[in-house]
Amino acid sequence: MAMNHTAPTSERAHPTPARYTAIALILAVITVVEVAIVYTKFLQPVLIPLLLVLSATKFAMVAMFFMHLRFDNRLFSVMFVGGLLLALAVIIALMTLFGVFFA
Amino acid sequence: MIHASSPAHPAPVETTTGLNNRKLLMWIFLGSDCMFFGSLIATYLLYRGKSLVGPYAHEVFNIPYTSISAFVLLMSSLTMVLALSAIHRGDMRGLKVWLLATALLGTVFVGGQYFEFTTFVNEGLTLKTNLFGTTLFVLTGFHGAHVTVGIIILLSFYLVAARGRLKPEQHLNIELAGLYWHFVDVVWIVIFTVVYLTETPNIVT
């Protein structure tokens, strides 16, 4: 049996270079905001949740657009997000075991 | 329909999943590397604030300096994706330019990390000084090693492309290198926030 058809790796077209540049600019702006809020006194009570949200946003944007998870087959996302969730579970479990949350 | 194949352009093979096995393997590797870095970040967080002697985090960190390093690595993700875009268009000159730019930005990042480590050591913080030093150097050192491996991969592809031995049909090689490179970028996004930004003098209790 001849097996010469291309195995599909992508489902939708990738962004254009201009779109990639726009995404990088947004990421740069978020980084500037992250650093700025660290030095903003009135935001100190909500600093850590704010930083985590901004960091998660940057992470998701790079994974979705630069790593093409938004455009590729869902199985790739399952493999990556599966490892990511296990990593988060390890962090939370270890911190709980060591009494970080319930000192 | 039968296509001609050659060693340079092997005929694509049918897979069980219908997906390219090399790409799937790369994603599985990145998923497992998430767990590797997850355990290192967890260790850092567990021993945070438990050092009995200094120097402490807020005494040695230079947030503006590290922010520039983070920005450099972030921009290297842009140049990497532009390299992939170039090979998709068959623009081999663009591919070489963006691959070299990515490797250069990566080298600036690693050089910056080397300078930062040297500064820490000069201020009395080594791998053995305290728990902060041990967990910080291990976490950021392993990340730096990942970036260094990425630079070697990028320069290897640059040399292959410069010799005219990389064809537009072989774009998957660049895509896989790009996935690895973006991964080291997202890991730094997490480290930059969890290790550096949350350790500033204003919020240390």
Residue of B nearest to A101 (CA): B46
State how many domains chain B has. Answer: 1
Quick one: average pLDDT of A36-63? 94
**What residues in B contact A65, CB-CB < 8 Å?**
81
Domain contains B161: yes
Mean pLDDT across chain A: 87
- Cβ of A17 under 8 Å from any chain B Cβ? yes
- The residue that leads in pLDDT, B168 or A103, is B168
For the stretch B61-92, pLDDT in tens is 999 999 999 999 999 999 999 999 999 999 99
Looking at beta carbons, which residues of chain A come within 8 Å of B14?
Answer: 3, 5, 7
A7/B13 touch (CB, cutoff 8 Å), yes or no? yes
SS3 assignment, position A100: coil
| B13, B18, B82: residue with CB nearest A8 | B18
* Average pLDDT over every residue of A34-46: 91
Return mean pLDDT, chain B.
91
d(CA B151, CA B112): 14
Q: Which of A21, A32, A43, A55 should one mutate to test binding to chain B, selecting the residue with the greatest count of B CBs within 10 A?
A: A55
The pLDDT of residue B4 is 44
CATH number, position B37? 1.20.120.80
B16 in a domain, yes or no? no
Q: According to the model, what pLDDT value does residue B5 have?
A: 44
| CA-to-CA dists, residue B202 to A37, A40, A50, B59, B87, angstroms | 11, 9, 15, 12, 47
pTM assigned to the model:
0.89
The mean pLDDT of A53-73, rounded to a whole number, is 95
Judged against a pLDDT cut of 50, whether residue B199 lies above it is answered with yes
Flag whether residue A101 sits within 8 Å of chain B, measured between CB atoms: no
Cα distances (angstroms) measured from residue B151 to each of A9, B106, B154, B165: 25, 6, 5, 19
Amino acid letter for position B147: V
Q: Do the Cβ atoms of A83 and B67 come within 8 Å?
A: no
pLDDT of residue B16: 86
Q: Are B157 and B173 in contact (CB under 8 A)?
A: yes
Print the domain residue range for B126: 21-203
Given a contact cutoff of 8 angstroms between Cβ atoms, the answer to whether B58 and B204 are in contact is yes
Residues of A in contact with B15 (CB under 8 A): 7
Token couple for B156: 């290897």
Contacts of B118 (CB under 8 A, 6+ apart): none
Q: Where are the beta strands (DSSP E) in A16-89?
A: none
Q: Tell whether the model's pLDDT for residue A92 goes beyond 70.
A: yes
Residue B122 covered by a domain: yes
How sure is the predictor about B130, in pLDDT bands with cuts at 50, 70 and 90?
very high
B18, B42, B202 member nearest A7 (Cβ): B18
Q: How confident is the model at residue B201 (pLDDT cuts 50, 70, 90)?
A: low
Q: Is the pLDDT of residue B25 over 50?
A: yes
ipTM entry:
0.88
